[in-house]
Amino acid sequence: MSKALMQLSGLSKRYPEGDTERVVLDGCDLDIRQGEALAIVGPSGSGKSTLLNLIGAMEVPDQGALWFASEDLARLSERARTLFRRRHLGFIFQQLNLVPTLTVLENLLLPLELNGTLDADGRRHALALLERVGLQGRDASFPEHLSGGERQRVAVARALVHGPGLLLADEPTGSLDRETASVVLGLFDELRREQGMTAVLATHASEVAAKADRSLELRAGRLQEVAPA
C-alpha cells in the first residue's frame, strides 16, 4: 500500500443553524494515498463540499487535524493556507471555474504566475496541455466564448499546469451532459495518471465514482468505505 499524502483524523465541522448547530462532519478519519483517485460520494447536503473545503485548506475544522507532509493544515494561518493551496493543490469546480477576464491561456498561466514560475518553459507547457485537452488555437479566447465542456477541459488543464501534489474536483461534470462529461472525465483521468497525481473527487455521479480507485460514502458526518461494484 502506498504511503498517505494527507491524513485526516477526528475531523469535525459544525455550522450554526438558527439557534442550534448542524453537525456536517463528525469525527472523520481518512488517509489519502499518494497517487490514488478517491471519490467521496453521498447525497446532496451530506457534507462532501465541506470535506473538500477542509482538504483544500479553504476552511478549518472545529476539531481534528489534517496532516500534509509534517504540517497540520488546521493550525496554519490564513496566509500559510493560501500559499499551501497555491503550491500544492489543483482545483476543478462545478461551474465557477475560469476567470472570465482572462483568456484561456492566461487562465492556465495564472497558477504559474502566482507561484513565480512563469517562464518560457511554463508557457510552452501550458500550450502543450491545451493541445492535450483539444483546445489548441483557442488560447486567445475568453471563457464566455467556450462551451461548457470546453471550459471544463480548460479547468482540467489549469488544475494540472503547475504540477500540484493533490487535485480536488467538486462535481467536475455536474454541469455537463453525459457525453461531454465522459470526455472531460476521461481526459482528467488520463492526465492525472500520466503525471502520477493524487485526486479527490466529490460527486454523486456513479460514473465519476466508478473511475476512482476507491470510493468513500459520507453519511451522517462520517466516512464509510464503499465496496467496489
Partner 1 sequence: MLRRASLRYHLRQPWQAALAVLGVALGVAVVVAVQLANTSAERAFQRSAEALQGEATHRVSAGTAGLDEALYTELRRAGIRPCAPVVAGYVNAPGGDPLRLLGVDPWAELGVRDAVASAALEVDAGRWLSRGGMAVLFKPEAERLGLGAGDLLPVEAGGRRHELEVAAVADPPDELTAEGLRNTVVVDLATAQAVLGRLGRLDRIDLVIPDGEAGAAVLEQVKARLPEGAVLKEAGEGAAALDEMTAAFRLNLTAFSLLALLVGALLIYNAVSFSVVQRRPLLGRLRALGVARGQLFRGIVAEGVLLGTLGTLAGLPLGFALADLLLDLVTRTISDLYFVLSVRSVTPAPGVLAMAAALGVLVSGVASAGPAWEAATVSPRTALERASLEAKARRLAGPLGIAGLALGGLGAALLWGYGGGIVAGFAGIFALLVGAALIVPWAVRQLAVALARPAGALVGTPGRMAARGVASGLSRSGVAAVALVVAVTAVIGVSVMIDSFRTSLTTWLDSTLSADIYVRAPAQTGETPPPLPEGLAAELAAVPGVTGVGTSRRLRAPSEYGEIRLRAFDHGPEGDAGIVYKDRTAQAWADYRAGEAVYITEPFAAHHGLAVGDTVAFRTPEGERRMPVAAVVRDYATSQGAVYVSRTFYAESWGDGVINGVAVYAEPGADLEALIGALRQAAQGQGQALQFRSDAEIRARSLAVFDRTFAVTRVLQLLAAIVAAAGVFGALLALALERTGEVAVLRALGLTPWQVWGLELSRTGLLGLMAGVLAVPPGLLLAAALTGVINERAFGWSLQLSVDPALLAKAVALAAVAALVAGLYPAYRAARVAPAEAMREDG
Residue ranges in contact with partner 1 by CB under 8 A: 44-50, 52-53, 56, 58-59, 78-79, 82-83, 85-87, 91, 93-102, 106, 109-111, 113-115, 144, 170-171, 174, 202
In angstroms, the CA 182 to CA 192 distance is: 15
- φ and ψ at residue 2, rounded to 5 degrees: -70, 160
Tell me the closest approach of the beta carbon of residue 85 to partner 1, in angstroms.
Answer: 5
Tell me the closest approach of the beta carbon of residue 33 to partner 1, in angstroms.
Answer: 23
Nearer residue to partner 1 within complex by CB, 80 or 228: 80
Nearer residue to partner 1 within complex by CB, 12 or 115: 115
Tell me the closest approach of the beta carbon of residue 201 to partner 1, in angstroms.
Answer: 12
The Cβ-side half-sphere exposure at 89, using a 13 Å CA radius, reads 23
Tell me the closest approach of the beta carbon of residue 155 to partner 1, in angstroms.
Answer: 10
Nearer residue to partner 1 within complex by CB, 19 or 78: 78
In angstroms, the CA 36 to CA 192 distance is: 10
Q: Terminal CA-to-CA distance of the chain, rounded, Å?
A: 21
- If DSSP codes are grouped into helix, strand and coil, which group holds residue 87? helix
Which residue in this structure is represented by grid cell 487535524? Answer: 65
Nearer residue to partner 1 within complex by CB, 58 or 226: 58
